[in-house]
């Protein structure tokens, strides 16, 4: 499944609303739910999800994250193991499909992380492992110490209006803002190493500054996306999602919406194939440059 429901905001919903969100997503073929132990504060979102979901465990994919604590990051073995046990209890499950390390911890000791992963895998508590917001060197440093535990995913911010990892690769050897490589070539690194990029905030134009769709600040990109959406008879959210899914890196999209209707609209992106011309037209309409 290439679209996941991000559960960061479900603590603002009632239990019946959460139930409707889950069932709507699954009715659209989306059975992938992304959590973190900090979402909702002290795991509230995980707890609510565990209380509401009443289907078969094998019918859904649960991903959660750990490592962010109040005022610091913590990838110590002790914290990882404690955090996973707490998430399992809140989610009312025996295992987590994928555990991500949430934001880089500069004090991380890869040998400790490896020991934690060894235990979690052997005990059946976690099946796969990934990271969030890491650059190639950080992933390489970590992976070299993880033995057989392959990092399978890297969650990174990406949208039509947040394209740094794309722009740096398109504007090599140019003296323009979009040529600045801030991520160490993370897009190409993940492709070379079979690491799935999970795009978060797919409709944001900055770091939680707001959405760009239907925003009068961005008339050109909305005009182009709106025209293509009308041509393909889908919502503009589906086109913005399809733009990410069109990339040959085979990315996944983490949705932040809690609106079942929007989930239904966005799910149509799975049936949309943008042409190369359409993809670049949207990219340029967002204010990006090509050399």
Q: What torsion, rounded to 10 degrees, do the Cα atoms 144, 4, 95, 89 define?
A: 120
φ/ψ (deg, to 5) at 102: -95, 100
Q: Three-class SS string for 233-264? A: CCCHHHHHHHHHHCCCCCCEEEECCCCHHHHH
Considering the candidates 39, 189, 205, 283, report the single residue annotated as catalytic.
Answer: 39
φ/ψ (deg, to 5) at 199: -85, 120
φ/ψ (deg, to 5) at 101: -85, 120
DSSP states along 152-203: EEEEEE-BTTB-HHHHHHHSTT--SGGG--SSSSHHHHHHHTTPEEEEE-TT
Burial (CB < 10 A; 0-12, 13-18, 19+), residue 289, is: middle
Is 39 one of the catalytic residues?
yes
Identify the three-state secondary structure at position 102: strand
- Residues for the chain: how many in total? 291
Annotated active-site positions, please? 39
């Amino acid at each position: 499944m290439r679209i996941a429901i991000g559960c960061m905001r479900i603590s603002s919903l009632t239990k019946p609303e959460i139930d409707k969100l889950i069932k709507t997503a699954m009715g659209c073929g989306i059975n992938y739910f992304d959590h973190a132990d900090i979402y909702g504060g002290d795991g509230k979102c995980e707890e609510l999800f565990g209380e509401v979901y009443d289907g078969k465990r094998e019918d859904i994919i649960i991903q959660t994250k750990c490592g962010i604590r109040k005022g610091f990051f913590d990838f110590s073995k002790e914290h990882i193991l404690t955090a996973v046990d707490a998430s399992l209890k809140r989610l009312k499950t025996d295992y987590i499909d994928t555990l991500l390390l949430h934001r880089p911890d500069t004090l991380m000791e890869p040998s400790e992380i490896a020991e934690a992963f060894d235990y979690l895998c052997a005990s059946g508590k976690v099946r796969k492992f990934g990271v969030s917001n890491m650059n190639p060197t950080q992933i390489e440093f970590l992976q070299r110490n993880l033995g057989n535990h392959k990092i399978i995913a890297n969650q990174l911010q990406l949208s039509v209006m947040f394209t740094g990892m794309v722009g740096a690769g398109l504007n090599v050897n140019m003296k323009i803002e979009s040529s600045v490589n801030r991520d160490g070539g993370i897009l190409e690194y993940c492709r070379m190493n079979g690491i799935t990029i999970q795009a978060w905030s797919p409709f944001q134009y900055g770091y939680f500054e707001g959405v760009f769709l239907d925003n009068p600040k961005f008339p050109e990109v909305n005009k182009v996306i709106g025209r293509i959406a009308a041509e393909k008879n889908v919502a503009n959210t589906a086109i913005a999602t399809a733009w990410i899914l069109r990339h040959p890196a085979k990315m996944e999209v983490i949705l932040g919406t809690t609106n079942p209707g929007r989930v239904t609209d966005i799910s149509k992106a799975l049936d949309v194939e943008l042409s190369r011309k359409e993809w670049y037209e949207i990219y340029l309409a967002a204010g990006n440059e090509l050399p």
